[in-house]
Structure 1
Amino acid sequence: MNVGDVVKSVNTKYNNSVIRFIVGHKTADRVKLITEKIITLKCFDAIEASNPDSNRKQYGNNRYSVSNIDQWLNSAAGAGAWYSKRHDYDAPPTNANVWSNYNEYDAEAGFLSNFEQAFRNAILDTTIRVAKNTVTDGGGYEDITRKVYLLSNTEVGLSNENGIAEGSKWDLFNNDNSRKAYPTAEAVSRSEYTSSSLNASSPWYWWLRTPYAGNSSSARSVHTDGTLFNYYAYFGGGGVRPALEVGSGILVSDTPDTDGAYIIQWNQPPTIPTSISHGTPRAGQPLTITTGGSTDPEGDPINYVFERRVDTKPFEQIAITSAKTIQDTVPTSGINYQVRVKAVDSKDAESGYRTGEPVPIVYNTDPVISGTDENLGAHEDPLTYNYTVTDAEAASQTLTVTEKVTNGAETITLRTFTATSGATNTADLSSVWLKLLPGTHTLTITVSDGAGGTAQRVITFSRTVTRIAASRAFTTDSLVTKCFLSIYPSERPLDSTLHCEVSNNPFDAEPVWEDITAKVNRYVHTFENNTVATNYGLAYRFYLTKGNQQIEVSQVTVRFA
């Protein structure tokens, strides 16, 4: 930013209008701002009816450190709550206490209440020097610390009051013309004091903090022509141009808005992540850690910093990522494991930490299933698979094994049993073999030791059917929901077994076949499938087996109902 540039914060408003500030001066680490225009008309200080000094009793107090305007500028209190007595004779700027009842402001909210929180937090404390009058306050000066203040004679480039330099001249003010200030349209429309000269197109008087050294009730101001002037403190027609200072590191938009002002970019930190969770930490094993996430007020991208510690050691970083889930490897020493996470936005603003409770590290090895995951290829006959399960802690743990096999979208549990470490187990698919559709299947063997340790083996295979004795598909007008099937083989070998399946979506790319072997010639079958992708239809297929071999059927009669 250059001196003379205009900045604004879109949610900081006075009288429902965004306050526009002009860069008035810069130092190595500070930017000094003053409102671009006069934003309101107010008195410097109200009359003090009980003050023994006759001037202050009639015209108000010109000592800035106890003035009404100074107190109002530095308050964030709500309507009617900003004023409190600063000395025994102090009085609020009520209607009765201002010149001709113009522009009282005791019922207003404090000036800082109009600032968005980020802006208010960014305003720096500033120590300012203020001259004192020589009549009642002893001359000389006093240094006070404020957030918001009025400028002095010295800072606007006018003569030092009583030879006292109140700060240093701002670079913005180089001549009378640079000191001219115009009121905003809102300042004019809200003013009880009116004048043909008071309009948004003409310069107006504005208060300085400097007292007129020769009396107790007049304060300095800038005249409409940019020269030095003074008014009684209780004059409610004086313009107010608040000044403040912020750090030079605050960001603004790259280009000005349509009104020529650069927009201040307040970067607020992300919220504290809502949660952090994980499973049982097992020594030397991977552990999934998840956070519920965070939000950034400005919508900036967020990274999550995950940290962990063992026992009372310092936390150490394990990941910085935009993902809400990470994998850690649990240390192999220590008693307790603890994690925490914080959010960091793209401008390096950090949230607080969300910290999990410390939990014991489990020292337990996983059980082991013999062999490796493999594909056993095509099988016509029922498949069996032999394997062993071993566990280092088998003497104190129970090994629970579950065997499952897929059948299309269905998963069939073969059995769940307690295994003996080192013993041979056999997964036998003969009981479900005929139910398995032709094609690829997986046999999954899972073992748990009851202490968090698990292992899994996945065996892939395919079932093939080389001969179907009879099959046929029919088209129908609608979805078939029930059927009755009669089959009369004219020649059927002794000790043979009939196997029969039907489908109510035979023309789909992957028909659903349902086993009705037990219902043939006996019961009506109700289809479980109710989805058809192409044409409606009905189909059957069947074959005979004797032992483990399929046998041919020379002639059959099939009836559908």
Structure 2
Amino acid sequence: MANVKLGTKAVGSIVKIKVNGASKDFIVVQQGLPSSAYDASCNGVWVVMKDIYTTMKWDGSNNDYLNSDMTAYLNGTFISLIDADIRNAIKQVKIPYTNYSNNNVMSGSNGLSCKVFLLSGTEVGFSGVSYMNTEGAKLSYFDSASKRVAYNGSSAAIWWLRSPYTSSSNYVWNVNTDGSDYDIWYNSSYGVRPAFILPSTLVVSDDGTVSVNTAPTVSTDGAALGRKNASFAWKYTVRDADGDTLTVTEKLDGKSAKTRTGVASGTALTFEQTASAAGFQKILNGNHTITVEVSDGKETVSTSATFTKAVHAASVTLAEPLAVEGDITVAVLQVTGSIPDDAKFKAEVTNNALDSSPVWQDATTEVKKGVNIVFENKTDTSGAAFNFRVSVERGESGEGGYIEAVSGAFQ
């Protein structure tokens, strides 16, 4: 499996975040804004700790959530325990809450500015409860009482909400052990399930761990490379802001052509198959897409370019002439393959290939007829040496072809 973005995780998924050095399970309870009652800052991935993290008093004086001991704890002591990278990524949000002075709900841009918070009664699915304000909207996850049940160790336990009991300043709403609503004196000690909102762009690994990562980047020579009739160098540079080593995969028309591992950030590379004559020859005429995929082990990015191979001519010769003792007076040459009748075909041979200016003799007619070639040249200054060169170019019909082999002999 591959790492995925946090924003793609289904509601109800478990993700892992370190708190005080230990990995803790969090439930994805909402993707995106729950409703228009929320400020745009709340647009992200809502997570709440799966189990009760600690037990404590909600406050020592009243049920004013804005100024409560609970709010101070969550945004002070607790948030400092979260792994630094994730702590820095937690969104500063404005959540709906009840104003202690008049019991009015403050929402939207007037919501409570915080990073970590308790869920409201409305958010966990309570509605129509006397003396409980509507603070926001139900989060997607909480569609039944069983989804509200939380555990402290092996036993279901009561846990705090941020919603005050509006007929008295002495009580706060809780979730009971069976998932029902329950109001309790603010000075009681019950379970805390911290919630916060993360950017959807964070990465989740196969084991559920959430991490902050900067995706690698690729800079290239361009995307539209035009017509190519010879090998060419498409250059690109891979970078990773986190300094991760990279795996680079080159693809031609969707098929892997080369993979490089352990590539350092800032490395300049060339797409190998198009850069060598041997590699380019294997590519058929027509439209092609070259793609580079770069992975830092957490995320993979890709970039592509297109080109049209339009090779309408080819030539073949020996890389090294064949030298012999004595003279070379006669040769025979065969060219096999598929060569259209209207193609421009030419065959030449030389018997003094080592000289500074070899004498090339047109042998096109003899090659086509399959007869012996009698050399006209009788001199050589560097010794007798044989070579040939065969060239073919597409004719007016536009029909393509190929040279499969060149064979022959000389004496």
Larger radius of gyration, structure 1 or 2?
1
Q: Which has the higher contact order (CA 8 A, sep 6+)?
A: 2
Q: TM-score scaled to structure 1, two decimals?
A: 0.35
TM-score by length of 2: 0.48
